[in-house]
Amino acid sequence: MRALKDSNAGFSILELVVAMSLVLIAVLAACQLIVESMSIIESTGRSLRDPSTGLASASLRRDIHEAASVSSAVPGWSYGPMTLWSQWPETVIIEKVDDSLVRVVRDTSNQEIERRVLVRGIRSWRWIVVAPGLIDCELTFKVHLNPVTASLVKDPERLARMQTRVERFRFALRGQAGGNKW
């Protein structure tokens, strides 16, 4: 019994600090994983609620990847049509018409071959050539809120922000069909 009383049982302050530091690092790593998984869940939920956004971005990605060059007449952000030229004789034009983002394909004589709405409910569309072969696109959508949620928000500015969603994309020109010119 006496031997137990005389021994220095327990942990030193240094051992406690090291152990607490390791626990803190593990907790911070777990928090980061939780935040990232919530972000993935949110984006998945958003694409499930509005699948047209994903389809529009896939179509934009395909057209821009296949393009060899893009019209960039104005420096900075452009709100007008984006003209994409590729190795094919057709020209693809992406433009905002009323509240829709429209894809138009024209032949060499500038005759319209195809016109297709990529997505509806667009508030604004803009794009910029960030670097040679690199394009940023930004689409602003109108979001339909649950009427109960909308009635709970008293601040009109906050309600307007909640009813708007901005999607930003960065695409690279690859210059070939299938996008394999890296």
Give 127-158 pLDDT, tens digit per residue.
Answer: 998 888 888 889 887 776 666 666 676 777 76
Q: Per-residue pLDDT for 28 more than 80?
A: yes
Whether residues 37 and 75 fall in one domain:
no
Helices (H) and strands (E) counted in the chain, each on its own, are: 5, 8
In a domain, residue 121? The reply is yes
Distance CA 7, CA 3 (A): 6
Instruction: With CA atoms as reference, report the closest residue to 134 among 176, 100, 170.
Output: 170
Q: Classify residue 98 by its DSSP letter.
A: T
In a domain, residue 180? The reply is no
Beginning with the edge strand found earlier in the chain, give each strand of the sheet holding 112-120 in spatial order.
Answer: 69-70, 82-85, 91-97, 100-106, 112-120
In a domain, residue 88? The reply is yes
For residue 29, the enclosing domain spans 12-46
Whether residues 90 and 107 fall in one domain:
yes
Whether residues 39 and 98 fall in one domain:
no
Give the containing element (helix H, strand E) for 44. Answer: helix 13-49
Q: Per-residue pLDDT for 8 more than 70?
A: no
Distance CA 23, CA 19 (A): 6
Mean pLDDT, the chain, whole residue set: 79
Whether residues 88 and 125 fall in one domain:
yes
Whether residues 126 and 69 fall in one domain:
yes
Radius of gyration of the chain from Cα atoms? 27
In a domain, residue 181? The reply is no
Whether residues 33 and 73 fall in one domain:
no
Whether residues 39 and 124 fall in one domain:
no
Whether residues 82 and 129 fall in one domain:
yes
Whether residues 35 and 101 fall in one domain:
no
Q: Locate all alpha helices (DSSP H) within 50-137, ordered by sequence.
A: 51-66
Beginning with the edge strand found earlier in the chain, give each strand of the sheet holding 134-142 in spatial order.
Answer: 122-131, 134-142, 164-172
Confidence bin at 39 (pLDDT 50/70/90): confident
In a domain, residue 7? The reply is no
Whether residues 143 and 100 fall in one domain:
yes
Reading the block at residue 36, the tokens are 């990232």
Whether residues 30 and 101 fall in one domain:
no
Q: How many domains does the chain have?
A: 2
In a domain, residue 177? The reply is no
The pLDDT assigned to 179 comes to: 42
Instruction: With CA atoms as reference, report the closest residue to 77 among 125, 124, 128, 123.
Output: 128
In a domain, residue 6? The reply is no
Say what the alpha-carbon torsion angle 138, 142, 144, 150 is, to the nearest 10 degrees: 110
Contacts of 149 (CB under 8 A, 6+ apart): 162
Whether residues 32 and 89 fall in one domain:
no
In a domain, residue 58? The reply is yes
| Helix, strand, or coil (residue 86) | coil
The pLDDT assigned to 73 comes to: 65
Q: Per-residue pLDDT for 25 more than 90?
A: yes
